[in-house]
Copies of this chain bind each other. A is one copy, B any other.
Amino acid sequence: MLVGAYYYPEHWPREQWERDIGNIAKMGFDFTHFGEFAWAFMEPEEGKYDFGWLDEAVEIASKNGLKVIMCTPTPTPPAWMAEKYPEILLTNTDGRIIRHGTRQHISWSSTKYREFTEKIVTKLAERYGQDERIWGWQIDNEPSHYGLKEDYGDAAQVRFRQWLKDKYQTIERLNDVWGTKFWSEVYSNFDQVRIPNEKELVLFVNPHAMLDFKRFTASECASFVSLQYNILRKSILKEQWITTNFMAIYDAVDPKLNDDLDFITWTKYPVEGFNQGIGEQGFRRGLPYDVGFGNDFFRPLKGKTAAMELQISQVCWGEYNPRMYPGARRLLLYHVFAGGNSFVCSYRFRQPTFNYEQNIIGMVGTDGVTPSDGGEEYMAFIKEMKTLQDNRPKATKKPESYFKRKSAVIWSFDNIWATDYQKHTTQWSYRNHHAGYYNILKSFGCPVDIIRDCDDFSAYSVLVAPAQELINTELIDKFSKYVKNGGHLVLTCRSGAKDQNGHYWEAKRAEPIWELIGAEIEFFDNLPGNCWANVRFGKQDFKWNVWADVLSPHKDTAVLATYVDQFYQGKAAVVSHKYGKGSVTYIGVETSGNGLERAVLKHIYNQAKIPIEDYPNGVIVDWRDGFWVAMNYSSEPFEVAIPKSAEILIGQKTLKAADVVVWSE
């Protein structure tokens, strides 16, 4: 796995470039990363391009033996563009035009902005597309509008209407799907339709309109990235790859829509002062979910991924901004390695002296020469990577029991968009619900893919499909087939209640999945946040208050857990039945800390005789290319069960906080 660092030549005096870029190479990095955000330097006046400075930087990198990732600068157009063509700008939910000065403040729906994008990308492709010093391309950066999420401007309005026309053809069809008979919402033509926006309504947004607008936004983002991809791909070297980096854990765009790209990379800052991590000092280490989700969500998209932007050290945007735990960077880097990434790149080589991100610690300080704590850990890691490369096991026999428990969790943007808008309880969070299951599988030591419902299920012994509230009969059939062929399917609360437009079925609640799950779903319930109820599995009680589906099992369906109290005391909360060669389990409840869910899943693997581990919270063990890697995010030491016959290549088997051990068997 190669390791690189961002460098912004345009931020520093020309006379420091040789020294700085030379130091990147001396510290052991394999590559650097140029051009991101540099549009004002590439096109200082409209139509006047300047790449001379970039040529020089590329040349210095090359002389120092560094590969170069070249970026398109589209998140940050020059000031003259916003001044002369304000129609390129984003508009927020307040109807306010968003101004020049930060990034991603432009409208993907703006024709003018797409024109400027085409031109600059074409120029870059012409200049560097045949240049072998360029290793690959990054389109844009973290495509999104960050916290603003969506665009409410005129251009978006126009294109949204067109998107709806393309989708529905007639206004009658839109009226049907959006259920506009309700409250006389009925539209007579597409021009009456506005982007749904709670800020301009007396009450709530039509949930079907909201879902379409979320889909539209993701689609606009994807088509903006594809526009650039198509320009690049038709004129650059075959050897040069093209990617973009999406933010891991960001829900307004869908990376899957860009599987035209060669592969998709990701960004993550696990220690940014918003969570407490695990145990003492956990806030300095982040959660295993942070890098884990990056690995397992992006890798399955194209079978390949890389961490384009990984945290080095202290940042500046958290509620508080702690220093990282000693070893925490190395921990993240090994997690990235173990997760199968092709390379890792980090922002940024040199800490800037100015502007908003001046306190994001780099590999070296603002003086340009003194390595930070992060820089030191990166250098150490790079050396260890070389050790590993030298000790690469010859026969990389895949570990059987590890791959036997290979599992998947379905991710669904439709369902995060639909259920997070219609939460039914403020405590509902699709992401938390989903993460609970993902974390359980990782605690069992499973290799996990986070996949889509359109993906092939056959590779996985267990498939968890959390909160599939919007579903369609094709998917129900696909689930059935998977199970009949021996798969073990886990469906969770809210599932099956609605069709893919978000309509309840003209039937009983979730009736279309009753046969699949071997039970009826009578109703659901939520509790106040300060009130707890219990659900019993075996002899153990678990607390819940977010969601309960109350179930009525069919004959031959086993009841695994029941409600201990409430007026439906004794009713089923979890049911399971054999179905074809496999099994289907329905977990109708979300418990505090997901304790019940973990117990039920363990039961499922055990029943299916799939071997699993039982790691404590914070310990992750993965296998890559013949190497076992065990990592500890918690504050409790953990003794890794390494066979005596194994060779420990890095570290030791007692894992302290932030420790890593690598061995081969």
- Please give the residue numbers on chain A whose beta carbons come within 8 Å of chain B beta carbons, in ascending order: 8, 10-11, 37-41, 44-45, 73, 75-80, 82-83, 90, 94-105, 145-148, 178-188, 191-192, 194, 196-197, 199-209, 273, 276, 281, 283-284, 314, 316-317, 319-323, 325-326, 351-359, 365-368, 370, 373, 422, 424-427, 502-509, 523-531, 566-567
Q: What CA separation (Å) do A352 and B185 show in the bound complex?
A: 15
Kindly report which residue of chain B lies nearest to residue A105, judged by CB atoms.
B202
A145 with B321: CB separation less than 8 A = no
B526 with A185: CB separation less than 8 A = no
Distance of A503 from chain B, by nearest CB (Å)? 5
Instruction: Label chain A's interface by main secondary structure.
Output: loop
Q: What CA separation (Å) do A314 and B526 show in the bound complex?
A: 10
Tell me whether A525 and B322 are in contact in the complex, defined as CB-CB below 8 angstroms, given that A103-B203, A200-B97 are known contacts: yes
B528 with A353: CB separation less than 8 A = no
Q: What CA separation (Å) do A94 and B75 show in the bound complex?
A: 25
B365 with A199: CB separation less than 8 A = no
* Residue in B147, B373, B503, B507 whose beta carbon sits within 8 Å of that of A367 in the complex: B507
B314 with A183: CB separation less than 8 A = no
Q: Which residues of B contact A194 (CB under 8 A)?
A: 99-101
Q: Which residues of B contact A202 (CB under 8 A)?
A: 90, 98, 102-105, 145-148
B353 with A203: CB separation less than 8 A = no
* Residue in B80, B323, B427 whose beta carbon sits within 8 Å of that of A320 in the complex: B427
A98 with B526: CB separation less than 8 A = no
Q: What CA separation (Å) do A425 and B321 show in the bound complex?
A: 6
B100 with A192: CB separation less than 8 A = yes
Tell me whether A283 and B203 are in contact in the complex, defined as CB-CB below 8 angstroms, given that A191-B83, A353-B504 are known contacts: no
Q: What CA separation (Å) do A276 and B531 show in the bound complex?
A: 9
With A79-B185, A99-B197 already in contact, 16 other A-B pairs whose C-beta atoms are closer than 8 Å: A8-B181, A45-B188, A79-B192, A96-B200, A97-B200, A100-B185, A102-B204, A146-B202, A147-B202, A179-B352, A179-B354, A179-B358, A283-B528, A323-B524, A323-B567, A358-B504
Distance of A472 from chain B, by nearest CB (Å)? 15
Tell me whether A527 and B322 are in contact in the complex, defined as CB-CB below 8 angstroms, given that A40-B186, A196-B101, A201-B101 are known contacts: yes
Kindly report which residue of chain B lies nearest to residue A317, judged by CB atoms.
B204
* Residue in B82, B102, B196, B526 whose beta carbon sits within 8 Å of that of A203 in the complex: B102
* Residue in B97, B351, B502 whose beta carbon sits within 8 Å of that of A504 in the complex: B351
* Residue in B44, B83, B283, B422 whose beta carbon sits within 8 Å of that of A192 in the complex: B83
Kindly report which residue of chain B lies nearest to residue A103, judged by CB atoms.
B183
Q: Identify 30 residue pairs between A and B in the complex whose beta-carbon atoms are under 8 Å apart, listed by A's number.
A: A37-B182, A41-B181, A41-B186, A44-B188, A75-B183, A99-B200, A100-B185, A101-B209, A102-B183, A146-B202, A148-B202, A179-B355, A181-B355, A182-B355, A203-B356, A204-B356, A207-B356, A207-B358, A273-B528, A276-B531, A314-B523, A319-B528, A321-B424, A322-B525, A325-B567, A351-B504, A353-B505, A359-B424, A367-B508, A370-B508
